Amino acid sequence: MKQKAKILTFGYTEEEQKRIDEYLSEIGVPPPTRLEKRHGSVVIGDILREGAIGTEEFDCPERLVLFYNLSEAGVRSLMRVFKSLEIPRPIFAIVTKTSITWTLQQLMEHLIEEKQAHEGSP
């Protein structure tokens, strides 16, 4: 059974998350699932399927917007929405067949490496 589309966010302050939730509500998009530091040791697929929550804290300064089961057009549209908000720019990612098997911490480490490689390239 195919799961419904979801947006997950990580690393935003309460105020930033509130701004995100309010704007998405205005355009008819359900609020995202808010990932917390204690999700670091939990597999992304378990978070999506069961709402699993871990017990170990994971500290990461980056913000993340993670899209699951959205169309390409939907992802692009929502990326524009997030970029238009007056909040720190996140790392945008889409859940893949590989990343759904990773913990949040593994995913963030991978995305940060990719970001650093991209920023370091000419």
Q: Could you give the percent of the chain with pLDDT greater than 70?
A: 97
Q: For residue 97, is pLDDT > 70?
A: yes
Q: For residue 96, is pLDDT > 80?
A: yes
Q: How many other C-beta atoms lie within 10 A of the C-beta of residue 87?
A: 17
- How sure is the predictor about 104, in pLDDT bands with cuts at 50, 70 and 90? very high
Predicted pLDDT at 83:
93
pLDDT top residue among 57 and 88: 88
User: Where does the chain have alpha helices with state H?
Assistant: 14-26, 44-50, 72-84, 104-120
Question: Phi/psi of residue 84, each to 5°?
Answer: -80, -20
Predicted pLDDT at 122:
54
| β-pair type (6-10, 33-35) | parallel
Predicted pLDDT at 119:
81
Q: For residue 93, is pLDDT > 60?
A: yes
When pLDDT is averaged across residues 47-54 and rounded to a whole number, the result is: 89
What mean pLDDT is reported for the chain?
Answer: 92
